[in-house]
Amino acid sequence: MTKRVVITGLGVVSPNGADIAQFSHAIRNGLSGIKHDPQLEQLLFSCHVAGKPVIEETRLPQYFTELEIRNLESTGIVYGVIAGMDAWHDAGLLPAPAEIPDWDSGTVFGTGTSGIDKFRGAIYKLDNLQIRKLGSTVVAQTMASGVSALLAGKLGLGNQVTTNSSACATGTESILMAYERIKSGQAIRMLAGSTSDSGPYIWAGFDAMKVCTYKHNETPEKASRPMSASASGFVPGSGAGAMVLESLDSALSRGVKIYAEILGGHLNSGGQRGTGTMTAPNPQAVQRCIVSALKSSGIRPDEVDLINGHLTATSKDPLEIQNWVTALGRSGKDFPYINSVKGMIGHCISASGSIECVASVLQLSEGFIFPNINCEDLHPEIEMLIDQECIPRVSLEKKPAILIKASFGFGDVNACLLLKKYNHG
Amino acid sequence: MDKDELIAAIKEIAAPYTADKTALAHLSEKTDFITDLKINSANLVDIVLDLEEKFGIEIDNDAMARMLNVKSTVEIIEAKMRAHDRK
């Protein structure tokens, strides 16, 4: 019994907007959330800019109990719970009653590492022979599944509750995994999303690898430059994105707003073979992932209106465009529109896929194409492949119907989703 | 510090861990942390840490394992404080 799957709720905590209304306004208007980060400068990072969500203190008690707020140091868990609860509420859903779990609803909520600040504090205590002072909060805040476990408890989810992890492909993968569970009839509703902690202990490894930019420390809003000739590495970011996926039958019977339909998708890996490595994608795998996603969705390449790329603002952007050109068999003026939210929010690591999927769904449901900020100087290798017009630098009042979203991650892993505008009535 | 003051201090420390505020209002020497106050057993360790800080004492593992109700908690704290005074 194959079910159609739709999106009925959205939640987001992003560097340029900590709820759906703010985020939608920000991406439509090309507003950057990248700021100077004094802590990174103090710690002698090469990159002194970052994209961090701003959460008002007064907001926390709406999501966490007084007890949970005490000793809460896992920013990833804070972002994930806020985005997840917001998505649930947005879908018009309530937590399960006190005694019985909601057997039909579950969650796939991914992360790279959650609670790294908490973990650091615990390690210091332990090394000072103070293990007994750790208290009860370390495990729940540092286990990878802490975020999905907390959400499940707050909402009473009784179906599958898990956390996936596939580097920067995590968020797109979580949505696809949740989609498959509903499609196969094993769940009616799934909360899907991903999160990423803020801070130097998450970002340091990337800075050390020199994949983050250090050339725009004085101009934070100009620092993240996907597809630009002067792109010099990504800007680290953090946050969370979430969506409620639901069978079409269930959504119709509840009479709720449907943001978009998920038509299909694909997950694969390049196996770190050929030119694929831990850090570089195998182009054949990327192309195969895109082609398989189209095939599973029953969509022809010429039907795609808009691509939301991975496009991190590193030297790999031209290779990604080449992969899209090859996989879709479209180039020059025939290429679809393409954009990247990373120009505005940086690369939110394990949260990037879910935040960008939320941005993708907003474009379909509200009917616009957000601009690629900081791409005034288009990379010449990209300009040889596709027409300038395909890369909007200002917001377009167009109504895309079919959007393809891909995320690629360390370990040579790929995730690709096909989304369609849902027409009510 | 007399016993009533000690019980009041335990009540204050247990408060944030107690979802059942009515049971908390009726806290007495007979109260059991888990069955009466519905405190998550994982949080008992946090209550002990809070008590240690409040009274400037250290509670060993065996004593901690016995601190399941107000009565034994009072006894253990009193004993620790007496021992502390003698030193």
In the predicted structure, residue A190 carries a pLDDT above the cut 90: yes
Mean pLDDT on A206-227: 97
Q: Are residue A182 and residue A281 in the same domain, yes or no?
A: no
Q: What is the pLDDT of residue A424?
A: 79
In the predicted structure, residue A425 carries a pLDDT above the cut 70: no
Q: Are residue A40 and residue A142 in the same domain, yes or no?
A: yes
* Closest-CA residue to A303 (of A416, A401, A390, A389): A401
Q: What is the pLDDT of residue B20?
A: 85
Distance from CA of B17 to the nearest CA of A (A): 7
- Could you tell me if B33 lies within 8 Å of chain A, comparing CB atoms? no
Q: At which of A193, A226, A254 does a domain end?
A: A254
Tens-digit pLDDT profile for residues A41-89:
999 999 999 999 999 989 999 999 989 999 999 999 999 999 999 999 9
- Using alpha carbons, list the distances in angstroms from residue B24 to A66, A114, A130, A348: 16, 34, 31, 44
Q: Do A67 and B43 touch (CB under 8 A)?
A: yes
* Residue B63 domain boundaries: 3-85
In the predicted structure, residue B84 carries a pLDDT above the cut 80: no
Q: At which of A227, A254, A281 does a domain end?
A: A254
Nearest to B16 among A66, A132, A133 (CB): A66
Q: Are residue A99 and residue A248 in the same domain, yes or no?
A: yes
Beta-carbon neighbour count of residue A184 at 10 Å? 11
Q: Are residue A227 and residue A158 in the same domain, yes or no?
A: yes
Q: What is the pLDDT of residue A153?
A: 98
Distance from CA of A133 to the nearest CA of B (A): 7
Tens-digit pLDDT profile for residues A99-158:
999 999 999 999 999 999 999 999 999 999 999 999 999 999 999 999 999 999 999 999
Q: Do A136 and B16 touch (CB under 8 A)?
A: no
Here the CATH number for the domain that contains residue A342 is: 3.40.47.10
How many independent structural domains does chain B possess? 1
Query: To the nearest whole number, what is the mean pLDDT of chain A?
Result: 97
Q: What is the pLDDT of residue A41?
A: 98
Q: Are residue A228 and residue A271 in the same domain, yes or no?
A: no
Q: What is the pLDDT of residue B19?
A: 82
Q: Are residue A65 and residue A181 in the same domain, yes or no?
A: yes
Q: Do A67 and B16 touch (CB under 8 A)?
A: yes
Q: Are residue A124 and residue A241 in the same domain, yes or no?
A: yes
* Residue A292 domain boundaries: 263-421
Q: Are residue A239 and residue A219 in the same domain, yes or no?
A: yes
Q: Are residue A246 and residue A269 in the same domain, yes or no?
A: no
Distance from CA of B35 to the nearest CA of A (A): 17
In the predicted structure, residue B86 carries a pLDDT above the cut 70: no
What is the C-alpha to C-alpha distance for residues A341 and A353, in angstroms, rounded to an integer?
Answer: 10
Q: At which of A254, A276, A303 does a domain end?
A: A254
Pairing state between β A161-162 and A105-111: parallel
Q: Are residue A224 and residue A205 in the same domain, yes or no?
A: yes
Residues 6+ apart with CB under 8 A from B19: B38
Tens-digit pLDDT profile for residues B19-68:
888 999 999 999 999 999 999 999 999 999 999 999 999 999 999 999 99
Q: What is the pLDDT of residue B85?
A: 74
In the predicted structure, residue A230 carries a pLDDT above the cut 60: yes
How many independent structural domains does chain A possess? 2
- Could you tell me if A153 lies within 8 Å of chain B, comparing CB atoms? no
In the predicted structure, residue B87 carries a pLDDT above the cut 60: no
Nearest to B16 among A70, A135, A137 (CB): A70
Q: Are residue A249 and residue A206 in the same domain, yes or no?
A: yes
Q: Which residue of A has its CA nearest to B14?
A: A67
Per DSSP, the three-state class of B32 is: strand
Pick left, alpha or beta for residue A410 (phi over 0 → left; psi -120 to 50 → alpha; otherwise beta): beta
In the predicted structure, residue A27 carries a pLDDT above the cut 90: yes
Which residue in this structure is represented by tokens 């944030």? Answer: B16
**Residue A162 · residue A172 · CB < 8 Å:** no
Q: Which residue of B has its CA nearest to A67?
A: B16
Nearest to B49 among A66, A67, A135 (CB): A135
Q: Are residue A181 and residue A277 in the same domain, yes or no?
A: no
Q: Tell me, what's the ipTM? A: 0.87
Mean pLDDT on A326-340: 98
Here the CATH number for the domain that contains residue B11 is: 1.10.1200.10
Q: What is the pLDDT of residue A220?
A: 98
User: Among A65-69, A337-341, A394-398, which is the least confidently predicted range?
Assistant: A65-69
Q: What is the pLDDT of residue B2?
A: 85
Q: What is the pLDDT of residue A303?
A: 98
B43 neighbourhood in chain A, CB within 8 Å: 67, 136
- Which of the pair, A123 or A1, is modelled with greater confidence? A123
In this structure, what token pair is assigned to residue B71?
A: 């009565």
- Could you tell me if B17 lies within 8 Å of chain A, comparing CB atoms? yes
Q: Do A136 and B42 touch (CB under 8 A)?
A: yes
